[in-house]
């Protein structure tokens, strides 16, 4: 494993007017590890996730990618750096097919100034889209409209869209939200497979699933880093148990 974190934060804080959502969060994420971010409601998870994905610039501190300071870099540049995000709320083109959704995402990574070649004739984009659909188990639904896919399939499609940028880091925000237990298990199996190709960082509320698949867990509370460690270390952490009183960790 590389000694340089694939992505890291140093003393990151975030304020919204007079409200401080994050304070002095320093965390390193290493290549090949599946890391989950957990914490009670209002802990700062979503804000921290948005800082990692470039949606929110930090009010103080730095964000580093492979040792390079990317603090304040516009969000649309992040996929080109190698950082992709799948949103908590499904973000697809519902009236396009699964294949078209992924092909457009792959196309967006190409030059935007090629006005002479018909995009639909770029066979390599179609092949890449088909490969990504196969990776997430949607090959048989390639020609179905995104709107007609089941909820779990839509979440898998969104991950395929995120993978179109060939990310080194894949950020997943509540990937099992709204899923049945069976769908959630299938999603976690998919995430484990994806972690073999890139580093996965996720926010997730299903503690049993988090404990079962994570290499490392980060716990936020009141916008601060409360604890970090292996699932066993977090499960046995007295303060984490207090914060999650009445919840299974």
* DSSP 3-state of 97: strand
pTM above 0.75, yes or no: yes
Question: Do 138 and 116 belong together in one domain?
Answer: yes
Question: Is 189 inside any structural domain?
Answer: no
Q: Is the dihedral of CA 7, 29, 4, 1 positive or negative?
A: negative
Helix axes 98-108, 123-135, angle to 10 degrees: 120
Question: Is 185 inside any structural domain?
Answer: no
Give the model's pLDDT for residue 21. Answer: 97
Question: Is 131 inside any structural domain?
Answer: yes
Look at residues 142, 166, 190 and tell me which one is the last residue of a structural domain.
Answer: 166
How much is the mean pLDDT over the chain?
A: 90
Identify which of 153, 21, 175, 176 has the alpha carbon closest to the alpha carbon of residue 87.
175
**Per-residue confidence band for 248, with pLDDT thresholds at 50, 70 and 90:** low
Alpha helical stretches, state H, 136-171: 151-163
Give burial (CB, 10 Å; 0-12/13-18/19+) of 66. middle
Question: Do 149 and 49 belong together in one domain?
Answer: no
Question: Do 146 and 39 belong together in one domain?
Answer: no
Look at residues 116, 145, 166 and tell me which one is the last residue of a structural domain.
Answer: 166
Question: Do 90 and 44 belong together in one domain?
Answer: no
Question: Is 188 inside any structural domain?
Answer: no
Token digits for 74?
């516009």
Number of domains present in the structure of the chain: 2
**Per-residue confidence band for 205, with pLDDT thresholds at 50, 70 and 90:** confident
Give the model's pLDDT for residue 245. Answer: 47
Residue 134 belongs to domain with CATH number: 3.40.50.300
Question: Do 148 and 136 belong together in one domain?
Answer: yes
User: How does pLDDT run across 15-64, given as a tens digit for each residue?
Assistant: 999 999 999 999 999 998 999 999 998 899 999 999 999 999 999 999 99
Question: Do 249 and 146 belong together in one domain?
Answer: no
Q: How far is CA 39 from CA 22, 51, 102, 212, 247, in A?
A: 13, 16, 32, 17, 11
Is residue 40 within 8 Å of residue 21, measured between CB atoms? Answer: no
CA–CA distance, 170 with 162 (Å, rounded to integer): 8
* DSSP 3-state of 236: coil
**Per-residue confidence band for 211, with pLDDT thresholds at 50, 70 and 90:** very high
User: Residue range 116-144: average pLDDT?
Assistant: 86
* Residue 212 CB neighbours (<10 A): 12
Q: Give backbone dihedrals phi and psi of 169, rounded to 5 degrees, phi first.
A: -130, 130
Question: Do 160 and 131 belong together in one domain?
Answer: yes
Question: Do 2 and 53 belong together in one domain?
Answer: yes
Question: Is 40 inside any structural domain?
Answer: yes
* Residue 101 CB neighbours (<10 A): 23
Question: Is 190 inside any structural domain?
Answer: no
CA–CA distance, 187 with 240 (Å, rounded to integer): 26
Token digits for 112?
């935007």
Give the model's pLDDT for residue 109. Answer: 84
Question: Do 136 and 245 belong together in one domain?
Answer: no
Residue identified by tokens 């964000």 is 63
Question: Is 194 inside any structural domain?
Answer: no
Question: Do 175 and 160 belong together in one domain?
Answer: no
Give the model's pLDDT for residue 110. Answer: 75
Question: Do 160 and 173 belong together in one domain?
Answer: no
Which residues form the domain of 125?
A: 84-166
Question: Is 75 inside any structural domain?
Answer: yes
Question: Do 237 and 143 belong together in one domain?
Answer: no
């Amino acid at each position: 494993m590389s000694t340089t974190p694939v992505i890291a934060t140093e003393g990151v804080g975030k304020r919204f007017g007079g409200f401080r959502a994050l304070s002095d969060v320093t965390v390193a994420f290493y290549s090949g590890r599946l890391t989950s971010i957990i914490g009670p409601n209002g802990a700062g998870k979503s804000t921290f996730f948005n800082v990692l994905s470039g949606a929110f610039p930090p009010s103080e501190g730095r964000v580093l990618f492979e040792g390079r300071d990317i603090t304040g870099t516009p969000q649309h540049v992040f996929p080109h750096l190698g950082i992709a995000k799948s949103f908590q709320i499904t973000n697809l083109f519902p009236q396009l097919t699964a294949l078209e959704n992924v092909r457009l995402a792959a196309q967006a990574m190409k030059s935007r100034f090629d006005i002479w070649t018909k995009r639909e004739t770029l066979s390599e984009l179609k092949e890449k889209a088909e490969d990504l659909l196969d990776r997430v188990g949607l090959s048989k639904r390639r020609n179905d409209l995104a709107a007609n896919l089941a909820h779990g399939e839509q979440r898998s499609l969104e991950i395929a869209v995120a993978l179109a940028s060939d990310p080194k880091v894949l950020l997943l925000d509540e990937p099992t939200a709204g899923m049945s237990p069976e769908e959630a298990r299938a999603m976690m199996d998919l995430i484990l497979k994806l972690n073999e190709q890139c580093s996965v960082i996720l926010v997730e509320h299903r503690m049993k699933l988090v404990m079962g698949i994570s290499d490392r867990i980060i716990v936020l509370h009141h916008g601060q880093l409360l604890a970090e460690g292996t699932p066993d270390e977090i499960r046995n952490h007295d303060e984490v148990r207090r914060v999650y009183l009445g919840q299974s960790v």
